[in-house]
Amino acid sequence: MERRGIGVFDSGLGGLTVVKELRKLLPNEKIIYFGDTARVPYGSKSKKVIVKYSKEITNFLMTKNIKIIVIACNTATAMALEEIKNMVDIPVVGVIKPGSRRAVRTTTNNNIGIIGTTATIGSNSYYNEVKNINKNINVYQKACPLFVPLIEEGLLEDSVTYEMANRYLNGVKGKVDTLVLGCTHYPLIKKTIKKIVGENVILIDSAEETAIEVRDILYSKRLLRNDEGEESDFFVSDMPKKFEEIGKIFLGTDLKEAKYIDIESYSGENN
């Protein structure tokens, strides 16, 4: 019987949107989640630092008897996916390819917008992925560095969030029919984004597509769990109580106790 869990990590709370979709699609699976709340946001940090953080988290997750790793962070996916794949002998899934495929399937006018952190946009990961699928699509990118801290402060429908969104989205408004939310935090401010870009623009949340990819991989490798699942475990690098309070907004339900982990103690290479 396959009882190993699904390891999921993010720079903070945003990856809980992926957990939510995984729970819907794979209710029997145990999820082990790590949120790097001490070092959020990742979007303004260098590739070297993000790779270091991602390796530490991977080392930690590998101590939890997992069968697959989901990098539920666009920035970490853009910067560290290949390094993590080379570290471990289990499947590793990021959020950029699933989201890009969904966007290409969705657009009708071949104009796609991508919003994300400074690091994600700077990496051109979404741009390149979309162009690899269909080189004729026009891609408009915009970094939105203040969204993550505003969301993590719980300012989801605050006037300051609306003002920043209006500034950031001015360049894509009226040009695109599909907008990729290139950060797992951004679905929490869908209402605000919709007010600015218009109801006709379709917002792509890669969490759903990522969950489908995880299901398909586990099915193909005969790793799906068939008996009733266990409670998910949540770990953070700082402020577990705050994580629990805000986390329920992301999950749409209460989450069990989050446990503090000294993540830097996992800096040694995974064997």
Mean per-residue pLDDT for 144-167?
A: 92
Was 226 annotated as part of a binding site? no
Catalytic residue (choose from 57, 143, 183, 246): 183
pLDDT digits (tens, 9 = 90+) for 10-52: 998 989 999 999 999 999 999 999 999 999 889 889 999 999 9
The token pair at 48 is 């070297």
Whether the per-residue pLDDT at 159 is higher than 70: the answer is yes
- Tens of pLDDT, residue by residue over 105-146, are 999 999 999 999 999 999 999 999 999 999 999 999 999 999
Annotated binding-site residue? 42: yes
> Are residues 89 and 17 part of one domain?
yes
For 218-257, the pLDDT digits (tens) are 999 999 998 877 789 999 999 999 999 889 888 888 787 8
**Residue 77 near residue 17 (C-beta atoms within 8 A):** no
pLDDT over threshold 80, residue 147: yes
Q: 268 pLDDT exceeds 80?
A: no
Answer yes or no: is 214 within a domain. yes
Asked if residue 77 belongs to a known ligand binding site, the reply is no
pLDDT at 185 over 70: yes
Per the prediction, the chain carries an average pLDDT of 93
Residue 267 clears pLDDT 70, i.e. is over it: yes
| Beta-carbon contacts of residue 18 (< 8 Å; ≥ 6 apart) | 8, 10, 70, 72, 95, 184, 207, 210, 211
Q: Is position 74 annotated in a ligand binding site?
A: yes
Of 152-156, 236-240, 243-247, 258-262, least confident by mean pLDDT is 152-156
Q: Residue 206: its pLDDT value, please?
A: 87
Residues 106 and 189 in one domain: yes
pLDDT category at 2 given cuts 50, 70, 90 is confident
Q: What is the pLDDT of residue 271?
A: 38
Contact 230, 30 (CB under 8 A): yes
* Residue 75 annotated as part of some ligand binding site: yes
Is residue 104 located within the same domain as residue 199? yes
Q: Within this chain, do residues 41 and 26 fall inside the same structural domain, yes or no? A: yes
Q: What pLDDT is recorded for position 269?
A: 54
Q: Could you report the per-residue pLDDT of 74-114, keeping only the tens digit for each?
A: 999 999 999 999 999 999 999 999 999 999 999 999 999 99
Does position 180 have pLDDT exceeding 70, yes or no? yes
Does 185 show up as a binding residue in the annotation?
yes
For residues 170-209, one letter each, b for 16 or more C-beta atoms within 10 angstroms of the residue's C-beta and e for the rest, the string is: eebeeebbbbbbbbbbbbbbeebbeebbeeebbbbbbbbb
Q: Which of 73, 93, 112, 204 is catalytic?
A: 73
Residue after which a domain boundary falls, among 178, 206, 234: 206
141 and 161 within one domain: yes
pLDDT tens by residue, 56-67: 999 999 999 999
Question: Is there a contact between 217 and 85 (Cβ–Cβ < 8 Å)?
Answer: no
Is residue 168 a known part of a binding site? no
Domain contains 271: no
Q: Are residues 107 and 191 in the same domain?
A: yes
* CATH number of the domain that residue 145 is part of: 3.40.50.1860
Asked whether 183 and 14 are in contact (CB, 8 A), the reply is yes
For residue 1, what pLDDT is reported?
59
Segments forming the whole domain that contains residue 258: 5-94+208-266
Within a domain: residue 28?
yes
Closest CA to 100 of 110, 86, 112: 112
> Which of 161, 182, 206 is the C-terminal boundary of a domain?
206
> Among this protein's residues, is 144 annotated catalytic?
no
